[in-house]
Copies of this chain bind each other. A is one copy, B any other.
Amino acid sequence: MSVKLNEKLLESLQVAIQQQNNRFIQETLKDKHAADISVLLDQMDALESKYILRLLNPEMSADIVADLEEDTRKGFLKNFSSEELAGLMDYTDSDDAADILNDQPVKVREEVIALMQNSEKAEYIIDLLHYEEDCAGGLMAKELIKANINWNIKQCIEEIRRQTKNVEKVYTVYVVNDKDTLLGRVSLKKIVLSTDDTKIKDIYVSNIQTVQTYYSEEEVAEIMRKYDLEVVPVVNVQGKLLGRITIDDVVDVITEQAELERQIMSGLSETAEVDDSIWTLSRARLPWLIIGMMGGLLGAQYMGFFENELKIVPAIAFFVPLIQATGGNVGIQSSTIVVQTLVGNPFDGKSLGSRLFKVLLVAIFNGIVISSLVFGFVMIFNEMNMAFVVAVALFNVVLIASLTGTITPLILDRLGVNPALASGPFITTANDLIGLAVYFTVAKLLFSI
């Protein structure tokens, strides 16, 4: 839907709510996808949203609430009693339901589960609440079709029929033994093409990819990407089938990761978009601005020690921006190359030495190129002496910034911190100070000779 169409629709719905024109609302939303209605509700206030939801069927309402943006949803559900929430949860997929209830106070959570009509779903949710949100256990849904290895196709189809309300999208049928141990899967295509008395054990695929409950979101995403899976079964350490993760959740994980990384790299302390409130936008920006400011003030203090030198040779000051910009650029480039390499495949300690050696070689090459160019340019307008100081300092800054830029993300990664932090103002602020120190040290050494 185009932005303009959307705005018109939103207005007409809001008018209809005021006039309690329920027929108009139902007619308008009849053929719309839950995701499109969610986008509309994201722009309404909580009471308007609730008014609209009450006019739709419960499956649709559940899908819409699951699709709302997390912030909107939190505010929106505050207007729901535990009874109303329970009614919604009865129709929500177990993975989304667990996410939604995880955001509620413990008391509400317990009440809602106790009030649910769909007892199988309630059990699913209780089970899922045990897992951390950012691991495979937190991503999985309990709804899936499983068939015993001793069944035939007819029994398998009966099971699909029995589950048809619970499992909206059937990707595949999982094959288990009497102890619920996952043995493999049968595709729906094979079921369609087989006769009713075909035995599951004769047609199932046994060698399949699985993930365990404790795998991180990133590992799950990497496995599903690598093997082109649209669904992956989740098992415990004994191999028991516990749930499944579908690709749509993983696409969201990948998208959120990219957003988080963009945010970290640009020195925002929280996700912010143009349409957020002025307060949110300021709060997202100030922390790193203040850290950068402290760095700048420290730099000023440091340069203060060289006041006399600057009085005699003010040209020293001219090249401070050059030193800083180069140090900053080299540092960010280096850390990004490491982050790029870290995505998906962990650094093995063994070859760290040889890799650092290569980083050093690249830095020496780039350092020589940049320093030579600068030497030439500075010579034109300044004395030989000055050109020499700037070139030598710049070469060292490139070397040091390359090494700090390479090592910092590795250390952050080892500490369990997102290594992208090193591509942000973090390394730039540090490099600014290191750059100044190197430059003035070189200047002092060379000019005093």
- Residue numbers of A with Cβ under 8 A of B are 3-4, 31, 33, 35, 157, 160-161, 164, 169-171, 187-189, 191-193, 207, 209, 224-230, 246-248, 250-252, 254-255, 257-259, 261-263, 265-268, 271-275, 278, 281-282, 284-286, 288-290, 292-293, 295-297, 299-301, 303-304, 307, 310-311, 314-315, 317-326, 328-330, 332-333, 335-341, 343, 345-346, 348, 355, 358-359, 361-362, 365-366, 369-370, 373-374, 377-378, 381, 420, 423, 425, 428-429, 432, 436
- A35's partner among B161, B227, B307, B362 (CB-CB below 8 A) is B227
Shortest distance from the beta carbon of A171 to any chain B beta carbon, whole Å: 8
Chain B residues near A226 (CB-CB < 8 A): 35
Contact across chains for A296 and B323 when beta carbons are under 8 A apart: yes
Chain B residues near A345 (CB-CB < 8 A): 3
Given contacts A296-B323, A325-B296, contact A290 B251 (CB under 8 A): no
A423–B323 Cα gap in the complex (Å)?
20
A3–B279 Cα gap in the complex (Å)?
46
Contact across chains for A278 and B361 when beta carbons are under 8 A apart: yes
Contact across chains for B340 and A293 when beta carbons are under 8 A apart: no
Chain B residues near A266 (CB-CB < 8 A): 265, 332-333, 335-336, 423
Contact across chains for B209 and A33 when beta carbons are under 8 A apart: yes
Shortest distance from the beta carbon of A200 to any chain B beta carbon, whole Å: 14
Chain B residues near A304 (CB-CB < 8 A): 315, 318, 381
A315–B295 Cα gap in the complex (Å)?
17
Chain B residues near A193 (CB-CB < 8 A): 157, 160-161, 164
Closest to A32 in B: B207
Contact across chains for B340 and A296 when beta carbons are under 8 A apart: no
Chain B residues near A420 (CB-CB < 8 A): 262
List 6 A–B pairs whose Cβ atoms lie within 8 Å, in order of A's numbering.
A192-B192, A229-B248, A263-B336, A267-B333, A282-B365, A284-B333
Closest to A268 in B: B333
Shortest distance from the beta carbon of A310 to any chain B beta carbon, whole Å: 4
Contact across chains for A329 and B3 when beta carbons are under 8 A apart: no
- A319's partner among B161, B285, B296, B339 (CB-CB below 8 A) is B296
A4–B359 Cα gap in the complex (Å)?
23
Closest to A300 in B: B318
A254–B381 Cα gap in the complex (Å)?
48
- A290's partner among B293, B359, B362, B373 (CB-CB below 8 A) is B373
Contact across chains for A263 and B340 when beta carbons are under 8 A apart: yes
Contact across chains for A35 and B228 when beta carbons are under 8 A apart: yes
Contact across chains for B207 and A224 when beta carbons are under 8 A apart: no
Chain B residues near A188 (CB-CB < 8 A): 170, 188-189, 192
Given contacts A326-B289, A329-B289, A428-B328, contact A337 B281 (CB under 8 A): yes
Contact across chains for B317 and A310 when beta carbons are under 8 A apart: yes
Chain B residues near A323 (CB-CB < 8 A): 296
Given contacts A278-B361, A285-B330, contact A297 B189 (CB under 8 A): no
Contact across chains for A157 and B192 when beta carbons are under 8 A apart: yes
Shortest distance from the beta carbon of A292 to any chain B beta carbon, whole Å: 5
A254–B189 Cα gap in the complex (Å)?
29
- A339's partner among B187, B262, B432 (CB-CB below 8 A) is B262
Contact across chains for B278 and A303 when beta carbons are under 8 A apart: no
A224–B246 Cα gap in the complex (Å)?
13
Contact across chains for A160 and B3 when beta carbons are under 8 A apart: no
Closest to A311 in B: B314
Which 5 pairs between the two chains have the least Cβ-Cβ distance? A296-B322, A317-B317, A266-B336, A258-B258, A228-B248
